[in-house]
A and B are shown apart, each in its own frame.
Chain A
Amino acid sequence: MKIIDKFKGSLTGYAFILPTFIFLIWFMYFPVYQALSGAFTNWDGFNPPQFIGLDNFERMLTDEVLSQSTVNALIWIVFSIALAVIPPFLVAELIFHVKNLRAQYIYRTLFVVPIVIPGIVTVLLWRFLYEGDGAINRILEMIGLGSLQQLWLGDPNIALYSIILMGFPWISAFNMLIFYSGLQGIPQEVIEAAKLEGATGWKRVFKLDIPLSFPQFRLIVILSLIGSLQNIIPPLIMTNGGPGYSTYVPILHMYNVSTVNGEFGYGMAIALVMFIIILLFTILNMKLIKSES
């Protein structure tokens, strides 16, 4: 009886959150369920799907494009992590060591403002910069380094690296702020003690700042890893995976087999495998954060 009364009392609250849950289930969970079940079907996105068991996953094992894409993704991950960690950390260090607090605030703001530029604009801008007669080659010509001119997006040996390395100077405002807040979190007495021990300059960075910023490093490594696996826009817009398959990545393959070939079942199978991989990293991330907290 008490339980029923208690439930009645909560009805209003449940009624308020019900619409949110309906939309959440309809727009988030149901598509996920569809994708999970669709991975075991042959489906063209229009006609009724046919259950084909593990055929899609067997096909993945012999899919050469997917193999090459996976190798490209691994290269991408390594570079992404390095670029997501090193430049932002160095900038965070520099800002943190600015004596004047107001100047610190101004620098921080200057690095964060570019966040308002949509990512797609950056991608298109870099596509122009990389063109044969784009700004990069012209600058090289102007400074007498014409011999270094390249077909940045047209040479299969460097196209992937060109896409990965776009966005110079690679200062992610989000990552920089994470590192900056980490540095701010180092107790003042620890810093003073380290000073007395002679830990200044680079010595302090390596002996004190980096070890005490490990939680931030771990978080950014995991987020970059997940982010780089989901990164479809740059290769799609800049090269559509070319030249050849040199800039193809699994998520682009998933997109193309689904929307171009109409093989939504196979696309979902690729998505499912990616989901499992990303899920593993998410669990790892949660464990690491938990252990740190």
Chain B
Amino acid sequence: MNKKAKMLPAMMLTLALVLGGCGGNAAKNSPSDTPSAASGNQETSAAGWTGTITMYAQVYTPNSKNITGLKDQQMLQTVADEYEKTHPGIKIEFVDEEYKDYTQTIRVKAAAGELFDVFWGQWEELNNTFPKGIAEDLTEYLNKPNPYIADKPAWKDAMNETVVNETVSPDGKIYNINGDYVATAFFYNKDLFEQAGITEAPKSWAELIDTSKKLQAAGIVPMSQAPDYGWFQRHFLSDFFSKEFETISGYDKKPGISSLDQSVAISKGLLSTKDERFMGWWPMFKELTDTWKKDYLTADPGVAANSARNDFLAGKTAIMYDGSWLPENAKDANINFELASFNFPVLTAADTAHTTGHDTSGAVGGPNAAFQFAIATEQANASMKEEGKKEAVLDWLQFLGTPANVEKVVNEHGTFVPTWPGTKPNESMADLASQASKELKAIGVGGSSPNLSKNLQRIFGLYLSGNMDFDKAQQSVQKELDTAIKEYETKNNTDYSQY
């Protein structure tokens, strides 16, 4: 007994040490109808609640001193000032912090009941990764009029319909408003192209391979980055399965491909290795990555992104596949070469038998940028229990969530494209914005479980680097898919046989 008592502190301390060891926020960037602020929901604040609304706006944070890479932005502050003017007693306070692990930050703050009133929450994370119950279900409010949008019977009528439908949760709820679009493209160093005697950007897959080989032959590194499975699968699968898009997106009886659609398609053997198209692009993609510098092939894209981008901006590599934020990064880095871009090419029968010839250049980016704002529930934010506060916060979100404000805020930042009907992108984004104007018909997997994408990325990296053969990769991928849909089934009480 005595001995045990003596050992108890050691035991406890050991456990504390074990547990103690375990305890960037880069987003994946005026219409004629100016909102009538006067017609706003002033009754809300008049209903009694006054105070400060906290908001974490990620890259749209105004007057930021702590978030890397933000220019001197003020638009969101201007919008907030307008709101405060018409809503005495309400103050909008923007959180100026950079969170290296945002998901964990949200978890911890929500668990402590200290989440921001309005917070940046990407739809996929709100639907699949964050705990259920941290964000208010906005569906009801999207179906009602927004007092700041004069001519729409419902708030969602002012939004991009496909985005709204595609970002719905497995249980049919909408947790955020989503106003911008990120585009992706191959950016290239024109000077290095000229050095290799290449005068034009590649227009087809074959030309892309050929260009890479020419660069290599000239002693220039064509590309060097972590090949993001989540991104590239969407280009290829959206093409190969384009004829099945209606089938896949129709399982949940709503437009767009939700995580439920993905899970059902996997369970039916459509988006799975049982269909040869699902991994039919891996060997042809390997042909491209065989020309890349091998450093980052097996790396986690999140870990390697900055190093790879720095290599490109320093002129060490000729091409980089990246998001529409890259031109801004290039300006900030004062690059000494001419930057240009080309879209992911349309595949032809000469490239692969699986192609349908569908243009999938816009399939990667989509509604995964920074104008994605959710409202904390009272479980995640104790101050939301204050009478009238939830209504006041919602009113602020409605004021912010108008086409005019979406356009102003998104365009000031300059790396994303506003998506709501009637909004116009910046001139500088015109080329990339053409992707956003295409119908969103992106197909991919990853929504069935929080770690499916990460695990597929690991297998993808091992295959591309030659550390795993195709058959083994295929088996491993199928195993991950099976595990993920089983997890989805358990978590959401889904019966796949119903579909």
A→B interface (CB under 8 Å): 28-29, 31-32, 35-36, 44-47, 131-133, 151, 153-157, 226, 230, 232, 239-240, 242-245, 251, 254-256, 258-262, 267, 271, 274-275, 278-279, 282-283, 286
Interface SS majority for chain B:
helix
Given that A45-B131, A286-B10 are known contacts, is A259 also in contact with B103, CB under 8 Å in the complex?
Answer: yes
Q: Quick check: B18 and A260 within 8 Å, CB to CB?
A: no
Q: Quick check: B467 and A156 within 8 Å, CB to CB?
A: yes
Given that A156-B467, A230-B17 are known contacts, is A243 also in contact with B462, CB under 8 Å in the complex?
Answer: yes
From the candidates B17, B104, B461, name the one contacting A243 in the complex (CB within 8 A): B461
Which 3 pairs from chain A and chain B are nearest by CB?
A: A243-B298, A132-B295, A46-B131
Q: Quick check: B11 and A154 within 8 Å, CB to CB?
A: no
Q: Quick check: B18 and A154 within 8 Å, CB to CB?
A: no
A151 to B395, CA, bound (A): 54
CB neighbours of B134 from chain A (8 A)? 46
A183 to B450, CA, bound (A): 53
From the candidates B22, B132, B454, name the one contacting A271 in the complex (CB within 8 A): B22
- 23 sample A-B contacts, Cβ–Cβ < 8 Å, listed by A number: A31-B16, A32-B15, A32-B19, A35-B19, A44-B131, A132-B294, A151-B295, A151-B298, A151-B465, A156-B298, A230-B21, A243-B467, A245-B458, A259-B107, A260-B103, A262-B107, A271-B15, A271-B22, A275-B14, A278-B14, A279-B15, A282-B11, A283-B7
Given that A32-B12, A282-B14 are known contacts, is A243 also in contact with B133, CB under 8 Å in the complex?
Answer: no
Q: Quick check: B467 and A232 within 8 Å, CB to CB?
A: no
Name the residue in B129, B380, B450 with the highest tally of chain A Cβ atoms < 10 Å from its Cβ: B450
Rounded to whole Å, the gap between the CB of B310 and the closest CB of chain A is 11
Given that A245-B458, A271-B18, A271-B19 are known contacts, is A154 also in contact with B294, CB under 8 Å in the complex?
Answer: yes
B229: interface (CB < 8 Å): no
Q: Quick check: B451 and A244 within 8 Å, CB to CB?
A: no
CB neighbours of A32 from chain B (8 A)? 12, 15-16, 19
Given that A44-B131, A244-B467 are known contacts, is A274 also in contact with B450, CB under 8 Å in the complex?
Answer: no
Rounded to whole Å, the gap between the CB of B447 and the closest CB of chain A is 14
Q: Quick check: B459 and A244 within 8 Å, CB to CB?
A: yes
CB neighbours of A259 from chain B (8 A)? 101, 103-104, 107
B→A interface (CB under 8 Å): 7, 10-19, 21-22, 101, 103-104, 107, 110-111, 129-134, 293-300, 302-303, 307, 379-380, 449-451, 454, 458-459, 461-462, 465, 467-468
A53 to B16, CA, bound (A): 23
Rounded to whole Å, the gap between the CB of A290 and the closest CB of chain B is 11
A46 to B11, CA, bound (A): 28
Question: Which A-chain residue is minimally distant from B379 (CB atoms)?
Answer: A46
Name the residue in B14, B16, B300 with the highest tally of chain A Cβ atoms < 10 Å from its Cβ: B14
Rounded to whole Å, the gap between the CB of A101 and the closest CB of chain B is 37
Rounded to whole Å, the gap between the CB of A35 and the closest CB of chain B is 5
Q: Quick check: B295 and A131 within 8 Å, CB to CB?
A: yes
CB neighbours of A260 from chain B (8 A)? 103, 129, 450-451, 454
CB neighbours of A31 from chain B (8 A)? 16, 19
Q: Quick check: B294 and A46 within 8 Å, CB to CB?
A: no
From the candidates A132, A243, A278, name the one contacting B465 in the complex (CB within 8 A): A243
Rounded to whole Å, the gap between the CB of B45 and the closest CB of chain A is 30
Name the residue in A31, A155, A230, A242 with the highest tally of chain B Cβ atoms < 10 Å from its Cβ: A242
Q: Quick check: B131 and A47 within 8 Å, CB to CB?
A: yes
Q: Quick check: B298 and A154 within 8 Å, CB to CB?
A: yes
Q: Quick check: A251 and B299 within 8 Å, CB to CB?
A: no
CB neighbours of B22 from chain A (8 A)? 232, 251, 254-255, 258, 267, 271
Q: Quick check: A282 and B298 within 8 Å, CB to CB?
A: no
CB neighbours of A47 from chain B (8 A)? 131-133
Given that A242-B300, A243-B467, A245-B458 are known contacts, is A46 also in contact with B380, CB under 8 Å in the complex?
Answer: yes
From the candidates B19, B101, B111, B450, name the one contacting A46 in the complex (CB within 8 A): B111
A251 to B454, CA, bound (A): 18
CB neighbours of A275 from chain B (8 A)? 14-15, 18-19
Given that A31-B19, A46-B111 are known contacts, is A279 also in contact with B462, CB under 8 Å in the complex?
Answer: no
Q: Quick check: A28 and B380 within 8 Å, CB to CB?
A: no
A275 to B297, CA, bound (A): 36
Q: Quick check: A262 and B459 within 8 Å, CB to CB?
A: no
Rounded to whole Å, the gap between the CB of B8 and the closest CB of chain A is 10
Rounded to whole Å, the gap between the CB of B311 and the closest CB of chain A is 9
CB neighbours of B303 from chain A (8 A)? 239-240
A120 to B463, CA, bound (A): 31
CB neighbours of B11 from chain A (8 A)? 279, 282
Q: Quick check: B458 and A274 within 8 Å, CB to CB?
A: no
A260 to B449, CA, bound (A): 11
A29 to B129, CA, bound (A): 29
A44 to B467, CA, bound (A): 35
A239 to B295, CA, bound (A): 12
| 20 more CB-based (< 8 A) A-B contacts, given A47-B131, A244-B468 | A28-B12, A35-B19, A46-B380, A132-B293, A132-B294, A132-B295, A232-B22, A240-B302, A240-B303, A243-B299, A243-B467, A244-B467, A251-B21, A259-B101, A260-B450, A261-B450, A262-B130, A271-B18, A275-B15, A278-B18
CB neighbours of A242 from chain B (8 A)? 298-300, 458, 461
From the candidates B133, B294, B462, name the one contacting A156 in the complex (CB within 8 A): B462
CB neighbours of B462 from chain A (8 A)? 156, 243-244
Rounded to whole Å, the gap between the CB of B155 and the closest CB of chain A is 27
A107 to B391, CA, bound (A): 69
CB neighbours of A226 from chain B (8 A)? 14
CB neighbours of B14 from chain A (8 A)? 226, 275, 278-279, 282
Rounded to whole Å, the gap between the CB of B223 and the closest CB of chain A is 13
CB neighbours of A267 from chain B (8 A)? 22
Rounded to whole Å, the gap between the CB of A146 and the closest CB of chain B is 15
Rounded to whole Å, the gap between the CB of A68 and the closest CB of chain B is 11
Question: Which A-chain residue is minimally distant from B377 (CB atoms)?
Answer: A46
Rounded to whole Å, the gap between the CB of A212 and the closest CB of chain B is 27
Q: Quick check: B21 and A240 within 8 Å, CB to CB?
A: no
CB neighbours of B10 from chain A (8 A)? 282, 286
CB neighbours of B18 from chain A (8 A)? 230, 251, 271, 274-275, 278
